Chain A
Amino acid sequence: MGAAHSASAEVRELEGKTGFSSDQIEQLHRRFKQLSGDQPTIRKENFNNVPDLELNPIRSKIVRAFFDNRNLRKGPTGLADEINFEDFLTIMSYFRPIDTTMGEEQVELSRKEKLRFLFHMYDSDSDGRITLEEYRNVVEELLSGNPHIEKESARSIADGAMMEAASVCVGQMEPDQVYEGITFEDFLKVGTRYRWGQGNNRGSPGSVVAEESAEGQLVRNSSSRGLGEAGATCPL
C-alpha cells in the first residue's frame, strides 16, 4: 500500500474488493490524502482535521469504528493503530449505496453488514453482546449534545431499551436465564421484530427486505445519497 494508488491495476483491484467505481475511489483517495496529510496511513489524530465532526456527539465512536478490527475485517477484537487507504475504503464500503442490479440476497447482505457496523459501535468490548453498560454508554454519548439531559435519564433510557430488547427476545430464552446483553441476532430482531409478528401473510424472502425496520431503510437511504453522488459532486 502507499501513495501509489493511482496505478490502474490497483484501482481495479480495489473496485472489485469494495464495489466502488473508479471515480469514487479517486475522490475518496483525494479525501484520504487530505485527511492524512499525504501520509500513507491515517491515525486517530487525523480525524481532528474534520471540523464538522467535532460537533458530532458520537464523534469518538465514529472515529473508533474506523479503527475497529472487526469493521476492517482483520480480526475479532482490538483496534488498529492506523489504517491505510484500503482499510479506509473498506469502512466506506459499508455505506455504499445498494445497487438496483443487486439481487435480494445481496441487498439483504448489505443491509446486514450495515447493521453489523452499527452493532459494533455499540459493542465496544467486542464480546458479541451489547451489555447494559455499553448501551448506557452509547445513549449517554448520544444525548451528550443536549446539556439539559442528565446522565441519569440517559441511563434509564438505556435501561428501558435494554428491557425492551430483552422482552422482545424473551420467547426464546429459558426463564431462569439471565439476559446478558443484546447479541447481533437479537439486535436484528429488536429492530425488525414486527416482521415476525405481523408480516405473516408475506412469507417470501422478499418480504424480509420489504418490511425491514426503519433503521435498515435509513442505512440504505443515506448510503445512496451520501456516497452515491460523491463521485460527481464531492467538493474535496
Chain B
Amino acid sequence: MGLQMFMTLSPWNWLLLLTALECSEASSDLKESATSTAQHVPNAWFAAASSEPDERISVFELDYDYVQIPYEVTLWILLASLAKIGFHVYHRLPGLMPESCLLILVGVLVGGIIFGTDHKSPPVMDSSIYFLYLLPPIVLESGYFMPTRPFFENFGSILWWAGLGALVNAFGIGLCLYLICQVKAFGLGDVNLLQNLLFGSLISSVDPMAVLAVFQEARVNEQLYMMIFGEALLNDGISVVLYNILIAFIKMHTFEDIEAVDILAGCARFVVVGVGGVLFGIVFGFISAFITRFTHNVSAIEPLIVFMFSYLSYLAAETLYLSGILAITACAVTMKKYVEENVSQKSYTTIKYFMKMLSSVSETLIFIFMGVSTVGKNHEWNWAFICFTLVFCQIWRAISVFALFYVSNQFRTFPFSIKDQCIIFYSGVRGAGTFSLAFLLPLSLFPRKKLFVTATLVVIYFTTFIQGITIGPLVRYLDVKKTNKKESINEELHIRLMDHLKAGIEDVCGHWGHYQVRDKFKKFDHRYLRKILIRKNLPKSSIVSLYKKLEMKQAIEMVETGILSSTAFSVPHVAQRIQRIKRLSPEDVESMRDILTRNLYQVRQRTLSYNKYNLKPQTSEKQAKEILIRRQNTLRESMRKGHSLPWGKPAGTKNIRYLSFPYSNPPSAGRDARAAESTDDDSSDPGVLSLKFSTHSRVASLQKRRQTQEVIPMRRLHRGGKAFNFGYQRNASQEEDVGAGRRVALRPKPLFHTVDEEYESGGESEEESSAVGSRWTADHGHSREHHKSHSPLLRRK
C-alpha cells in the first residue's frame, strides 16, 4: 500500500528514474561502442568523436565518461531527495512508517529496474567512500544536535548501556552463531569464530534514529529518549572500533595463531582507540571554538571552520588509527557550546541546515543503495544462518537490555520501568551503518560474504519494517511515561536555583558529588574556557537565551496587539472606561484555562526536538517574518487611517513592560548592537529593525513607570495567554484555517458580548488610559486593560 501511494504521489521520481536509466544506458552504449570500434564499422557520430580524432570538429559530441561519476552521484542524490519529498507530500505517511522504510523501498524499486535491465549499479559505495565521506556527516550531525544537559545527566547509564550493550550483543550473537555453525546439517562449517564475531559486531550496531522520531511524537519521558539517543550516538563508534579490530585480527592471524596476548592487546587497543578518539575530538573542538572567536568579520566562512575542523578531527584520528567517529562526536559536542555563541545567527543557521543536509544525504544514499543491492544475484540464502541471526539478535538484545538495566537501575534514583525496558528492547532497529559494514566486508577474508550480506539485509528489513512500523502503536499501547520536560522560565529558574543549592549543600557537607562535578566544570568554564574561547561581552546563559526566545514571541504579540489596537481603536473617541467587568462565567474560565494549558509554550521544546531528517522550522525566522507581515499590515492600516503611531496605543506597549528588550540604558549599547544584529540576521529586513527601535523608544518612555509597580494584574495575563495562543497557532505547523476556526469559535462567547457593550459605554480620557503607573496599585485599574485584552479578539475576523 505504501508503495502504491508512493507511486501515485511522486511522478517526479519516475521521471528521474527514467532519466537516470537513460543516462546509464547511454553510458553503457558508449562503452560498448568504444570497445567495439576496433571490430565494427562505427555508424554513428560516436565514431566521429572516438575513432577519428584528427578529423574536423563535430557539431555535437557526447562525452559521458568525463562526467559519469559526479553525474550519477548527483542523480542519486536527487532521486533520494525526490523520494523524500514524495514521502512528505502525503501527510499521513510519515506517521505510518519511518522514512527509512520508504527510502529502502525506493532503492528496491530502482534496484529492480537496474537488475531487470542488466545495468551495473553506480559505484556509490565502497569502503573508503563510506568511511571517508558518508559516515562522518551522519555522526557529526547526531553529535552536534545532542541535547547536552540531559545527556550528561544520564551519562553513566548511557555509557553503561551503549558501551557494554554493544559489546555484549556483539559477542553474544557472534558466539551463538558460531555454535550454530558447528552443526553439520546447516552447511556452515567453513565460517569460523572470528568471522562470526565480526558479524556479531556489525549486526549489533543499532540505528534507532527512526525510533527517535516516534518517541518525539509520542513524547516519551526524557530518560528513555536519552538512552536511545545515546545508544544511537555511541553505538556506531563502538561497533566500528570493534569491527576494525576484528578485521585486523582476521588479517593478522589465522584462527589458531591468536594468543592471549593478542586478545589483551586487542582489548587495550579498544580502549586506546576509543579514549584517544574522544581526546582528539575534544582538542579539535576547542581549537575550532577558539578560531571562531575571531571570525566576526568574515562570518561567511564560519560554517566552513566548523565543518572543516570536525572533519579534520575525524581524519586526524583515523590517521592514527583512533576512532574517528568518537573524535568527530566529541568535537561536535565540545565546540557546539562555544561556537553557537561566537558565530553570527546566519552562520549558525547555515551550520545547522548544512549539517542536517549532509547527514540526510549520506544516509539516504546508503538506504537507497541498500535497496538497490537487495535485488540481484549476490545473495546466498541459508535458512539456518539467517533465522538464527534474526533470533539471536532479538534474544541478545533482550538479555542485554534487561540485564544491564537491572544493574544500572540499582544506581539510579529513577529506575527504568519494565515498560521502558521493553521499548528499549524493541527499538533495536538496524540501519544504514550495519548494512554498510556488512557490505564492505573484504571478500578475500570472507568467502561467505554473500551469506553475511543477506543475513544483514534480512535483519535490517525485519527490524526497520516490522519493528519500525509497529513501535509507534506499541509506545502508545504501553502508555510509556510521558515526558516531564517542559520549557518554561520558571522551571528553568527553579532548576538553576536547585542546582546551585545542591552544589552548595554538597559543599557544606563536604561531599564531592555529582553536582559538584558539574559545578566545578561550570566554574572552570566560566573562568577560563569562556574567556578564551568566546568573544567578549556576549551575555549568554541558557536562561538568557531562553529569555530571548520568549522575548521574540512577546515582540510578535506586541505587534499583533499593536495592529489590533490600531484597528480597534482608530475611531476618534478612543475612550475607554475603567469600569468593572462582569465576572467571568465558569465556562469562560474553563475555556481560557483550556487554551492556556494546551497552547502555552508548546512550540518550544528544546530537548526533545531532535529529528533525524529535518530541522523543525526555525521559530525565530518565522517570527521575524510574522513581525514583518504584521508590521506592513499595520503600516498600511495606519496610512489609511491617518495614524502616526502604528502601535502607539498603550495596549500595544503594555507587554513591553514585562518582557521588554532591556536595552534602553546607555551602558548596554554594545549588547544593543549585538541584539540588533541578531534580529537583523533573522530576516535581513528593515522592518524588523524598525520594530526594534520603536520598541526601544517605548521602553524608554516606560522606564520610570515601571519602577513603581511590583504586582502583576491578572488581566494582562489573560491577554498574554491569548496572544500566546495565537503565537502557537502560527508557529505550530497547523493549517491556518484551524486557527481561524478556533477564533471564530471563540468569538460568540457571552463574555465578549459583555465586553463589547461596556466598550461602547466607555467615557474615560486617553490620558487616563496611558497613565500606566497609577494603574498598578489601584484595585480596579485593570478592568480597562482587561477590556482591551479581549476586544482584539472581538475585532478579529
Please list the residues of chain A having a beta carbon within 8 angstroms of any beta carbon in chain B: 27-28, 31, 34-35, 47, 50, 52-53, 55-59, 61-62, 65-66, 92, 95, 97-98, 118, 121-122, 131-133, 138-139, 142-143, 145-146, 148-150, 152-153, 155-168, 170-181, 190-191, 193-194, 196-199, 201-202, 210-215, 217-227, 229-230, 233-236
Q: Tell whether, in the assembled complex, residue B481 and residue A157 are in contact, meaning their CB atoms are under 8 Å apart.
A: no
> What's the Cα separation between A122 and B717 when bound, in Å?
22
* A168: chain B residues within 8 A (beta carbon): 488, 490, 596, 600
* A196: chain B residues within 8 A (beta carbon): 597
- Identity of the chain A residue whose Cβ is nearest the Cβ of B487 in the assembled complex: A214
* B486: chain A residues within 8 A (beta carbon): 193-194, 213
Q: Tell whether, in the assembled complex, residue A170 and residue B592 are in contact, meaning their CB atoms are under 8 Å apart.
A: yes
- Given A157-B543, A176-B780, A214-B485: A221 touches B510 (CB 8 Å cut-off): no
- Given A50-B507, A149-B541: A176 touches B779 (CB 8 Å cut-off): yes
Q: Tell whether, in the assembled complex, residue A131 and residue B710 are in contact, meaning their CB atoms are under 8 Å apart.
A: yes
* A230: chain B residues within 8 A (beta carbon): 509, 511
> What's the Cα separation between A161 and B721 when bound, in Å?
13
- Given A121-B497, A149-B544, A170-B721: A179 touches B504 (CB 8 Å cut-off): no
* A139: chain B residues within 8 A (beta carbon): 493, 543
- Given A132-B710, A211-B484, A235-B510: A197 touches B597 (CB 8 Å cut-off): yes
Other A-B contacts than A56-B500, A168-B600, A175-B782, 19 sampled, CB-CB below 8 A, are: A98-B413, A142-B500, A146-B540, A156-B547, A156-B659, A157-B544, A160-B551, A165-B490, A166-B712, A167-B600, A168-B490, A178-B779, A199-B482, A213-B494, A218-B495, A219-B498, A220-B414, A226-B509, A227-B509
> What's the Cα separation between A175 and B721 when bound, in Å?
13
Chain B, residues 677-706, CB within 8 Å of chain A (1/0): the string is: 000000000000000000000000000000
Tell me whether B89 is interfacial, beta carbon within 8 Å.
no
Q: Tell whether, in the assembled complex, residue A146 and residue B504 are in contact, meaning their CB atoms are under 8 Å apart.
A: no
B324-359 residues at the A interface, CB under 8 angstroms: none
Q: List 7 A-B residue pairs with CB atoms under 8 Å apart, sorted by A's residue number.
A: A47-B508, A62-B504, A121-B497, A145-B526, A168-B490, A215-B494, A223-B502
- Identity of the chain A residue whose Cβ is nearest the Cβ of B541 in the assembled complex: A146
* B523: chain A residues within 8 A (beta carbon): 55
Q: Tell whether, in the assembled complex, residue B504 and residue A150 are in contact, meaning their CB atoms are under 8 Å apart.
A: no
- Given A148-B537, A155-B662: A175 touches B718 (CB 8 Å cut-off): yes
> What's the Cα separation between A187 and B387 when bound, in Å?
56
Stretch at the interface among B274-282, B377-385, B576-584, B613-621: B576-584
> What's the Cα separation between A220 and B511 when bound, in Å?
16
- Given A163-B659, A179-B711, A211-B482: A121 touches B501 (CB 8 Å cut-off): yes
Tell me whether B503 is interfacial, beta carbon within 8 Å.
yes
* B497: chain A residues within 8 A (beta carbon): 58, 118, 121-122, 138, 142
Q: Tell whether, in the assembled complex, residue A163 and residue B544 are in contact, meaning their CB atoms are under 8 Å apart.
A: no
Q: Tell whether, in the assembled complex, residue B547 and residue A157 are in contact, meaning their CB atoms are under 8 Å apart.
A: yes
How many interface residues does B have (CB within 8 Å)?
89
> What's the Cα separation between A66 and B489 when bound, in Å?
26
- B389: shortest Cβ distance to chain A, in Å? 38
Q: Tell whether, in the assembled complex, residue A193 and residue B721 are in contact, meaning their CB atoms are under 8 Å apart.
A: no
- A67: shortest Cβ distance to chain B, in Å? 12
* A181: chain B residues within 8 A (beta carbon): 711
Name which of B541, B584, B671 has the most chain A CB atoms within 10 A of its CB: B541
Rank and list the top 7 A-B pairs by shortest CB-CB distance, nearest first. A171-B593, A197-B597, A148-B539, A62-B504, A152-B662, A222-B502, A161-B489
- Given A34-B510, A92-B509, A171-B592: A53 touches B504 (CB 8 Å cut-off): yes
* B596: chain A residues within 8 A (beta carbon): 167-168, 170-171
Q: Tell whether, in the assembled complex, residue A143 and residue B509 are in contact, meaning their CB atoms are under 8 Å apart.
A: no
* A213: chain B residues within 8 A (beta carbon): 484, 486, 491, 494
Chain B, residues 752-787, CB within 8 Å of chain A (1/0): the string is: 000000000000000000000000000110110010
* A180: chain B residues within 8 A (beta carbon): 711
> What's the Cα separation between A219 and B499 when bound, in Å?
9
Tell me whether B598 is interfacial, beta carbon within 8 Å.
yes
Checking B482, B505, B710 against A133 with a beta-carbon cut-off of 8 angstroms, the contacting residue is B710
- A120: shortest Cβ distance to chain B, in Å? 11
Q: Tell whether, in the assembled complex, residue A95 and residue B502 are in contact, meaning their CB atoms are under 8 Å apart.
A: yes
Checking A31, A97, A161, A178 against B493 with a beta-carbon cut-off of 8 angstroms, the contacting residue is A161
Q: Tell whether, in the assembled complex, residue B714 and residue A179 are in contact, meaning their CB atoms are under 8 Å apart.
A: yes
- Given A157-B544, A174-B583, A220-B414: A166 touches B490 (CB 8 Å cut-off): no
Q: Tell whether, in the assembled complex, residue B712 and residue A162 are in contact, meaning their CB atoms are under 8 Å apart.
A: yes
> What's the Cα separation between A210 and B508 when bound, in Å?
30
Name which of B413, B514, B724 has the most chain A CB atoms within 10 A of its CB: B413
* A161: chain B residues within 8 A (beta carbon): 488-490, 493
- B266: shortest Cβ distance to chain A, in Å? 34
- Identity of the chain A residue whose Cβ is nearest the Cβ of B514 in the assembled complex: A225
Tell me whether B163 is interfacial, beta carbon within 8 Å.
no
Checking B485, B488, B499, B510 against A190 with a beta-carbon cut-off of 8 angstroms, the contacting residue is B488
Name which of B507, B508, B589 has the most chain A CB atoms within 10 A of its CB: B508
* A148: chain B residues within 8 A (beta carbon): 537-540
Q: Tell whether, in the assembled complex, residue A160 and residue B547 are in contact, meaning their CB atoms are under 8 Å apart.
A: yes
- Identity of the chain A residue whose Cβ is nearest the Cβ of B503 in the assembled complex: A56
Checking A53, A143, A217, A235 against B507 with a beta-carbon cut-off of 8 angstroms, the contacting residue is A53
- Identity of the chain B residue whose Cβ is nearest the Cβ of A189 in the assembled complex: B490
Q: Tell whether, in the assembled complex, residue A234 and residue B509 are in contact, meaning their CB atoms are under 8 Å apart.
A: yes
- B654: shortest Cβ distance to chain A, in Å? 11
Q: Tell whether, in the assembled complex, residue B498 and residue A57 are in contact, meaning their CB atoms are under 8 Å apart.
A: no
> What's the Cα separation between A35 and B783 when bound, in Å?
55
Q: Tell whether, in the assembled complex, residue B484 and residue A212 are in contact, meaning their CB atoms are under 8 Å apart.
A: yes
Tell me whether B667 is interfacial, beta carbon within 8 Å.
yes
Tell me whether B516 is interfacial, beta carbon within 8 Å.
yes
* A57: chain B residues within 8 A (beta carbon): 500
> What's the Cα separation between A162 and B712 when bound, in Å?
8
* A175: chain B residues within 8 A (beta carbon): 581, 583-584, 714-715, 718, 782-783, 786
- Identity of the chain B residue whose Cβ is nearest the Cβ of A119 in the assembled complex: B494
> What's the Cα separation between A33 and B608 when bound, in Å?
46
Tell me whether B61 is interfacial, beta carbon within 8 Å.
no
* A35: chain B residues within 8 A (beta carbon): 508
